[in-house]
Amino acid sequence: MEAREGCGALRRTVALGRSAAFTGARRAGRRIEQHGLTSPRVEATTEGTQSPVGRRPTRVQGLDPLRAVAALAVLVGHGYVLGGRGVPLSASSFTDSLLALTPTGVWMFFAISGFVIARPFIDALINGSPMPGRRGYAFRRAFRIFPLYWACAAVVIVALDRLGTQPRDVFAHLTLLHNLVPGRQQAFINVTWTLSLEVLFYVAVPVLTALLARWSRGAVSAERLARLIVLSAGASVALLLACGLLAGSRPEASLYGRLSIVGMWSAFCPGLLAAVWWADRRPGPVTGVLGVVRRLTSGGPMWWAALVITAAVGYASTWTPADLPDVAFVLGIDVGRVCWSAAFGLVVLRIVAQPEPRPVPAPLAALGDWSYGIYLIHGTILLVLIERFSSWFPLAGSGLTGYLAHLGLLLGVTLPLAAASWHLLERPAIALGRRLGAGSLLLRPPAVAEKRVD
């Protein structure tokens, strides 16, 4: 009986991991002058550089709709949670399988982050140019992430008193380092497990690229770097699956390893490979790992085959039978997670490889700006509604009618607050972070950045 209760707790915790999504917490950054790489909205904009196959677009506008769709997908899944049932991990119907797809926006955001955050560092590493300034990078990242997070944390502390009593736990959550603390990865505000991973990734990128630059004593070849990324992804997946094997005997240790930055590293690697392709300016044929990546950028049969296979396996994982032993169940879920990471990495690669920029509809561009707020605010609202106002839910009605009522409530509260957060808190904080990173509170950002600040 105790083992079965432990299995149930494990699957509920896995469900939290699958149902959390991350959005645009990595969209900040002022122009990195020495590299010609920018982003007022980092994922959406970048200065063009000459590629082996033609001029790259000045802005990767297609990433905006991806962020918007991914953020809303998670919200759509969480609308179902207000009805009293978690987003299903194991589908028993076609409807369940569709709901189980909503959390996959997490892997989309990790793929985007791998490309956007690492791109200027990888460009400098491959081309032998100076690394981005650490001061400016740190200020931009901190002022993008923490102002809204601390505002949401204050709401949860006042409403639910959930921060914790141990000084270690308080510090870890307020600094978004709780991914490092066993038992705290999904505590406090559940959905911030992804934010903690992002913060650790933000630290890892400049540290690892600096170590590689020192070790190589100069520029690192693009092919060598691509191979290192593939090897690191393989090691991450191996750790993930090894931790899955502990799901039955040591569920807490299994979950900690699977949700750690090392276990989740492979989710960032497709974006890292896209960044290596972006920085590689060699003309002519390319072989090896980069040769494969370059062929995938064409969007031809090879790209379609890879996308269909990875997405099909990812979708099939939603039908993992619930009555399997815990080890088999967790491994089935994690294989699907790896496949979704690869599938969304293919989408990101194809979009950043577009030779001509495509206009983004204004509503999608706005949702891209609000996506961090949509993610974090809706997670905070969901938590407060469920724990403080549980007697109100589920709302009257059942089936589709009840679900639409819950979804409408969550959307109706989240979107206005996310819009207000962007204009009144996030955007001013981003601008302040850019000025502090430049070393002056009096420095005004360029006019173009005023329009497209992140």
- 307-352 residue pLDDT tens: 999 999 999 999 989 889 999 999 999 999 999 999 999 999 999 9
pLDDT-derived band at 370, boundaries 50, 70, 90: very high
The pLDDT, as a whole number, for residue 443 is: 47
CA distance 392 to 25: 31
Cβ neighbors of 6 (< 8 A, separation 6 or more) are 251
> What sign has the CA pseudo-torsion 85, 186, 310, 64?
positive
- How many CB atoms neighbour CB 71 within 10 A? 29
Residue 153 in tokens: 């944390």
Asked if 196 and 178 touch (Cβ cutoff 8 Å), the reply is: yes
Instruction: Over range 265-281, report the average pLDDT.
Output: 93
pLDDT at 209 over 70: yes
| Pairwise pLDDT comparison (405 vs 425), residue with the higher score | 425
Whole-structure pTM over 0.85, yes or no?
no
The pLDDT, as a whole number, for residue 287 is: 84
3-state secondary structure 187-235: CCCHHHHHHHHHHHHHHHHHHHHHHHHHHHCCCCCHHHHHHHHHHHHHH
* Closest to 329 measured CA to CA, from 61, 89, 40, 70: 89
Which residues does residue 37 pair with via DSSP β-bridges, in sequence order?
A: 32
CA distance 220 to 128: 8
pLDDT-derived band at 396, boundaries 50, 70, 90: low
pLDDT at 32 over 50: no
Residue 35 in tokens: 């590299």
CA distance 98 to 92: 11
CA distance 87 to 382: 13
Cβ neighbors of 210 (< 8 A, separation 6 or more) are 131
54: part of which helix (H) or strand (E)?
A: strand 54-55
Cβ neighbors of 76 (< 8 A, separation 6 or more) are 102, 407
The pLDDT, as a whole number, for residue 441 is: 57
The pLDDT, as a whole number, for residue 80 is: 87
CA distance 271 to 115: 4
Place of tokens 């982003």: 39
Residues 265-301, buried b or exposed e (16+ Cβ, 10 A)? Answer: bbbbbbbbbbbbbbbbeeeeebeebbeebbebbeeee
Identify how many contiguous H helices and E strands the chain contains and give both numbers. 18, 2
Judged by DSSP in three states, 277 sits in helix
